[in-house]
Amino acid sequence: MTLSPSPNALKIVFSGPMGAGKTTAIRAICGGETLSTEVPITGETVGDKVSTTVGLDYGECALSNELTLKLFGTPGQERFSFMWPILGEGAFGLIVLVDNSQPEAMAEVEHYLSAFASHIGRRRMVVGVGRMDSHPLPDIDAYCARLAASGFDVPVIDADVRREADVRLLLSVLVSMAEVEHATGATP
């Protein structure tokens, strides 16, 4: 893994609640070559999760021969939210991950989108919803309707963050938003 700056690099932030799969997604797309600040969980757990991110996760991947993505994962626990604006600063875009088996998944998505809107803008955000195979409701349409009512017109995608192809899809959708912005002259 190289940490050198590149003119053809974009900073992408992964955020969402604890247990949504931020660390897993970054590891999946980076082939396991990541930096992480995970520590054992000492308080309330989510599922079979035994560790949690307290600072950040970091990895790099090439989306194409011309474009490198610098991926930053935020801590999901509210007590570490002071890291969110630090990690959001200068980011091209945001991917919010959520576990659909959790009871307040849609509210969590709104919370994280709102937390980053001032740093990234509302036009460069994508939502990845996990565990839809075992928990199909709320469905993608319900997420889209609720987010649109809150002023977020963002793509919402069913994604298994353990699969590199699903993470690559989330990243590709996010990066393609820049192409649309460029073609239409829109600003983030």
Domain boundaries, the chain: 9-38+50-184
Q: How far apart are the first and last CA of the chain?
A: 30
What's the pTM?
0.86
pLDDT over threshold 50, residue 3: no
Determine the pLDDT at residue 179.
66
CA 4, CA 87: separation in Å to the nearest integer?
18
Q: In which residue are the tokens 């002259």 written?
A: 185
Determine the pLDDT at residue 46.
62
Contact 77, 51 (CB under 8 A): no
Q: What is the mean pLDDT of residues 64-91?
A: 89
pLDDT over threshold 50, residue 80: yes
- Give the whole-number percent of the chain exceeding pLDDT 90: 60
Which residues lie below 8 Å from residue 92, measured CB to CB, with a gap of 6+?
10, 11, 12, 120, 124, 174, 178
pLDDT over threshold 90, residue 43: no
| Tens digits of residue pLDDT in 81-123 | 888 999 999 999 999 999 999 999 999 999 999 999 988 877 7
Determine the pLDDT at residue 44.
65
Determine the pLDDT at residue 66.
82
Q: Which fold has domain 9-38+50-184?
A: Rossmann fold (3.40.50)
Q: What is the mean pLDDT of residues 14-37?
A: 87
- Give the whole-number percent of the chain exceeding pLDDT 70: 79
Determine the pLDDT at residue 76.
82
**Reported confidence tier of residue 29, pLDDT bands at 50, 70, 90:** very high
Determine the pLDDT at residue 136.
95
The one-character DSSP state at 74 is: P
Longest dimension (CA), the chain: 49
| Tens digits of residue pLDDT in 149-173 | 999 999 999 999 999 999 999 999 9
Determine the pLDDT at residue 120.
86
Determine the pLDDT at residue 1.
39
